[in-house]
Chain A
Amino acid sequence: MKDFQTHTISVYIRNNPGALMRMCQIFSRRGYNIDSLVVSPAMDGRFSRVSISAKGASDSLKQINLQLEKLVDVVHCIEHTDTEAIVREMVLVKVAADATKRGEILQITKHFGGKTVDFTDNSLVIECSGASSKLDAMIALLGNYEIVEMVRSGQMLMARGGNPT
């Protein structure tokens, strides 16, 4: 598996049944692994916003974009680089913690701009959002304690300035 990079793509797509299946098929046919996929209604409810991050060879990604564009349901499809787009993700982490460890965990949470959204005798749920690398760093530190469960939202993105997403 040589020079496989992560690519971030946004797709503006007609909100039709099956539209998502058509998209996913293009990735799987080309041997691309989708790392994360976020779909939600666009401002105009007839359309959806799809943010995809996927790993694979760069030259075949170009092809994938062209094939996505070709889908009757797809209005447009744009690949974004980190500098042109704001890419964000959210995570919920449940950490086992009794009174003795809580303080340290809350300190880590605060450092990363997260907050606690659930608080019990022996666990905490921490919510945090930001760039995926920031979340990775927080999760790594929390890993020194006992992480019971974790859910990440996958990446969503928006182009900066006057560029369309």
Chain B
Amino acid sequence: MNAAEAVIKCLEKHGVEYIFGYSGGAAIPFFDALVTTNTDIELILVRHEQGATHMADGYARATGKPGVVLVTSGPGATNTITGLITAQMDSVPMIVITGQTISPMLGKDAFQEADVFGISLPVVKHSYLVRSHEDITRTVNEAFYVATSGRPGPVVIDVPKDISSTEGVFDLDAAMDLPGYTVPGHGDKDKIKQIAKAFKKARKPLLLVGHGCVLSSAEEEVRELAEKLNVPVVTTLLGKGAISEKHDLSLGMLGMHGTAYANFAVKNCDLVCSIGSRWDDRIVGKLDEFCADAVRIHIDIDPSEYGKMITPDYWCVGDARLILEELILQVEECDSATWVEEVKQWRQDYPLKYDKIQGGLTMQEVLAELDKQSDSEAIVATDVGQHQMWAAQFCKSTKGKNWLSSGGAGTMGFGFPAAIGAQFGRPDDLVVSVSGDGGFQMTLFELSTAAIHKLPVKILVLNNSYLGMVRQWQELFFDERLSGVDMVGNPDFVKLAESYGVKAFRMSSSDDVAKVWEEALAYNDGPCLIEAVCNKTDNVYPMIPAGANYDKMLLEAPSEKLDKPTGST
């Protein structure tokens, strides 16, 4: 057996079903090992390494299992960087194995040599450059453990070709050697008790639930806690599905483009308990004023989140599900009946809404109809832009792991390949990718991958012929000076899909929406693309300008000129 074969055997041991990959000289030993080991692991040959990383990412988000990527050295490896940062920012478990030039040529500008270890350092949870074949199985075992435990994240394993080719005797169960790595589990009981006590004094408490709750499969516990306390719940973009958005106590998403009622609740609460969220700048707005008068509680598995953005009054480190299990035992119903009524009134008075356009089409109605026809049960993978925010508002998430979106990195090109990965992981579930015309063109070549494997993924392209989200900012904050946002030159998306052998539909007015969705959702012989030709000039509301206080929330287009935002991008 050579080291590459040992790696494949190790991956089998860790339950890997798919490798998303792209070959090349330095990675040939691994691709060869896929054949010689006669493995059951299926290689999914993508069209671009970035696509492979987003597929692995989508697979991981939708299944909770780590996604695996295999690429070659140099440009193959550097093409994974965007996928790595996307996974790192959103704490997604992923293993990226990169071929490397032979060890004696390291550092000598060998053909297709890149310092992958160095280049990827800031965008990984951990990484390895394997120096000896004797280390390889231990390295793989460590990589899986590190990627999936604690706060998950991507791990890179860079393997020089001479090492992957080395014959030897390999212990697939090689023991890990991680003396510096600890994984928080149960929270400190006293701290949990203090948190329970804080709820007792609160009259307007609020749960703020993030991706950590989805990652630790704490959906049941979130619901139980909310019900036992009788406390409303707001979720972050990535927390969608941590509680069903159809639950009576759910207020949907908070933050920059959150629902008005969620944001009113944030503004008026007297206690906010963040669970598995990191007070991201998209949700806190103006940092020193965010829930400044409320008691602030922070529950997180990552000790370095303490005080990074906000220094909480109460703090507990550990796994969200384990902490909530304990917290549920400690809490009693809050004195919150009046507050819950107040919040429900906001929900009635300020619902999400949109106007239809005579003879035209809005993104919102396309997404609302999808939500209706899929009974809010679809796995929705989004790209980045206006369509993403409308999808977050109008596609209700009823379970965890059904909402896949690049939150931290905001990576255009993520949605479609992520949907492919999700469909591989959950072949029996409905998977819909929601992209804009801009972002779809960043990874559309994966139409081949979807077509080859006859994946029944629904590829929605919401086409407004603009980089809409940027146009919205230019309109609102830069005196309507549009610059670099016009997508003139867009292809005919229907013909494009058809050229890949992919079934395609088009909708361009309100009258088409229901009918086209019915047809598309019924089509299961392979992928299908749905182009929705949408209004070009719609803007997403509600909106809290970046870095602004919640007071500054716009419910609709402003009538006067706005100041330039002070917050990040």
**A interface residues, Cβ below 8 angstroms from B:** 13-14, 17-18, 21-22, 25, 29, 47, 59, 62-63, 66-67, 69-75
Contacts and interface: CB of A to CB of B under 8 A. Distances in A.
Contacts of A63: 304, 307-308
A21 B118 contact: yes
B45 interface: no
A71 B124 CA distance: 11
A125 B211 CA distance: 61
Contacts of A47: 179
Nearest to A71: B180
A81 B129 CA distance: 37
Q: Across the A-B interface, give the 8 residue pairs with the lowest CB-CB distance, nearest first.
A: A66-B304, A75-B180, A72-B126, A72-B181, A70-B304, A67-B304, A74-B180, A73-B180
Contacts of B304: 63, 66-67, 69-70
Nearest to A59: B307
Interface in B112-145: 117-118, 121-122, 125-127, 129, 131
A85 B494 CA distance: 70
Contact of A66 (B126, B146, B303): B303
Interface string B83-102: 00000000000000000000
22 contacts: A14-B180, A17-B117, A17-B129, A18-B117, A18-B118, A18-B121, A18-B129, A21-B118, A21-B121, A22-B121, A62-B307, A63-B308, A66-B306, A66-B308, A67-B304, A69-B303, A69-B304, A70-B302, A70-B304, A72-B125, A72-B146, A75-B179
Given A69-B303, A70-B303, A25 B121 contact: yes
B180 A29 contact: no
A29 B179 contact: no
B178 interface: yes
Contacts of A62: 307
Which among A29, A59, A62 has the greatest number of chain B C-beta atoms within 10 A?
A62
Nearest to B304: A66
A70 B306 CA distance: 12
Contacts of B131: 17
Q: What bracket does the count of chain B residues touching chain A fall in?
A: 20 to 34
Contacts of A13: 180
Given A25-B121, A63-B307, A71-B180, 7 more contacts: A17-B129, A17-B131, A18-B127, A29-B122, A62-B307, A72-B125, A72-B146
A122 B181 CA distance: 55
Interface in B274-302: 302
Contacts of B126: 72
A14 B178 CA distance: 9
Nearest to A75: B180
A13 B181 CA distance: 11
A73 B177 CA distance: 10
Interface in B295-327: 302-304, 306-308
A47 B127 CA distance: 18
Contacts of B125: 72
Nearest to B302: A70
A74 B178 CA distance: 10
A70 B129 CA distance: 20
**Residue among B117, B118, B179, B181 with the most chain A CB within 10 A?**
B179
A63 B306 CA distance: 8
A129 B122 CA distance: 37
A24 to B, nearest CB: 10
Nearest to A47: B179
Contacts of B181: 72
Contacts of B118: 18, 21
Query: Which of the listed residues A18, A67, A70, A75 has the most CB atoms from chain B within 10 Å of its own CB?
Result: A70
A139 B304 CA distance: 40
B180 A72 contact: yes
A92 B179 CA distance: 37
A70 B121 CA distance: 14
Nearest to A74: B180
B95 to A, nearest CB: 14
Contacts of A67: 304
Nearest to A28: B122
B454 to A, nearest CB: 40
Interface string B161-196: 000000000000000001111000000000000000
Contacts of B121: 18, 21-22, 25
B318 to A, nearest CB: 15
